[in-house]
Amino acid sequence: MSHSVEKIMSPAAGRVVQPDRLLVRSLVGGLVTSLPVLVLGLLVLNLAPTYYTYLALAAFVNLIVVVGLQVFMGNSNIANLGHSAFVGLGAYGVAVLSTPLAMKKLSIPHAPFGFATLQLDPFSAALVALLAVGIVAAVSGKVISRLSGVAATIVSLALLIIVHSVFLNWTDLFKGNQAFFGIPKVVGLPWMMVLSVVVIVLARLFKDSRWGLQLRASAQSPQAAAALGIDARRLRLMAWILSALICGLAGVLYAYFAGTISPKLFYFQQIFITLAMLILGGMATVTGAVTGVIVLSVGLEFIRSIESGVTIAGIQLPQLLGLSGVALGVVIVLCMAFRPGGISGRYELDEQLSRLLRRSA
């Protein structure tokens, strides 16, 4: 083949591909996106009473889960209903590995493979737990990446049910339905904030990378993507594993701040709330994931506070138990009806800002 090239192919074209500049742009973009999270975190850290610190920690865990969910769903456009399996694996992983031996004697004295007499420091335990998450993700991802659409979603759901059953029924290792307590509480708000920023930036870097771009392309037109030589399966697998690792990290952090976990924490309730956050915020962008978490966390907490009955201007409102569930449903229905792309739509926060600047300039 002789590419006698003149017009579109010029010898000086090397500068067109500027990976460095693109890298810097998505790095900055990720940091801009995580700014609101940082500000809210710092406010809570410095001003709010302890009760709110605890709420904020839980919200940060949700944030990391939702960003992890976005990495797979937002780029591959396949609904994932199994991500809590990885959150649970991360949490139970560090529970089994890092709980002090004295505690283990009480809770899991018959643990197999010598886990009853093994105690790792929290950092090593987290690494090993994430390794386990990665292995489960690689195996399940092999199946999921071959499928698309509804079939892949059903497989993700099956994964959730399998992992949940294992937690429930392998009582020697996971204590079954009972709470697993005594996990070292080593994570506070500062760590949670730092890792949230890391995860947000990571998700953005993946989205803007050549893999993220090709994966998004293949989700929009599989035939055209194939005709451009894109191996969609490999890219879906990549996104699935990265997504699982981020969700696993959320589980690790949850276990390390709460100290106590149980299987029901990592089941349908969490799946539904985190999916709602992502869809409400807009799953196409990392900004959407962050927006959804902030809006729903604050909104739900507000509703919960009036749920138990409050007095406004001398009028005692009755107890409205279950209001938060109703409100959650209503918000999702309204959002889907009027803004199916979610609150933040197709553009990241920094892209929206630069568009605004360009328009006003």
Partner 1 sequence: MLSVEAVSKTFGGVQALRNASLSCAAGEILGLIGPNGAGKSTLVNAISGVLKPDAGRVRLEGKDITGRGPEFCARAGIGRTFQTIRLFKDLTVRQNVEVAHITCRAVRPDVAERIDIDRLLAQYELDGVAHALAGTLSYGSQRRLEIARALALGPALLLLDEPAAGLNENESEVLAIAIEGIRQDVGCATIVIDHDLRFINRLCDRLCVMDQGQVIMSGETSEVWRDPRVVEVYVGQSQPA
Could you list the residues that contact partner 1 (CB under 8 A)?
A: 1-14, 16-17, 210, 213-214, 216-217, 220-221, 223-231, 284, 346
Structure tokens at 212: 């993220």
CB of 9 to partner 1, least distance (A): 3
Instruction: Select 11 or 314, whichever has its Cβ closest to partner 1.
Output: 11
CB of 288 to partner 1, least distance (A): 13
Secondary structure (DSSP) of 301-315? HHHHHHHT--EETTE
Query: Of 216, 72, 245, 236, which is closest to residue 146 (Cα–Cα)?
Result: 236
Measured CA to CA, the distance from residue 94 to residue 260 in angstroms comes to 11
Instruction: Select 220 or 305, whichever has its Cβ closest to partner 1.
Output: 220
CB of 344 to partner 1, least distance (A): 14
Residue carrying the six token digits 């007095």: 311
Helices vs strands, H then E, count in the chain: 15, 2
**Residue-level length of the chain:** 361
Q: Are 58 and 44 in contact (CB under 8 A)?
A: no
CB of 200 to partner 1, least distance (A): 21
Secondary structure element (H or E) that encloses residue 207, with its range: helix 189-208
CB of 235 to partner 1, least distance (A): 11
Measured CA to CA, the distance from residue 207 to residue 351 in angstroms comes to 14
Instruction: Select 52 or 347, whichever has its Cβ closest to partner 1.
Output: 347
Instruction: Select 28 or 135, whichever has its Cβ closest to partner 1.
Output: 28
Instruction: Select 223 or 311, whichever has its Cβ closest to partner 1.
Output: 223
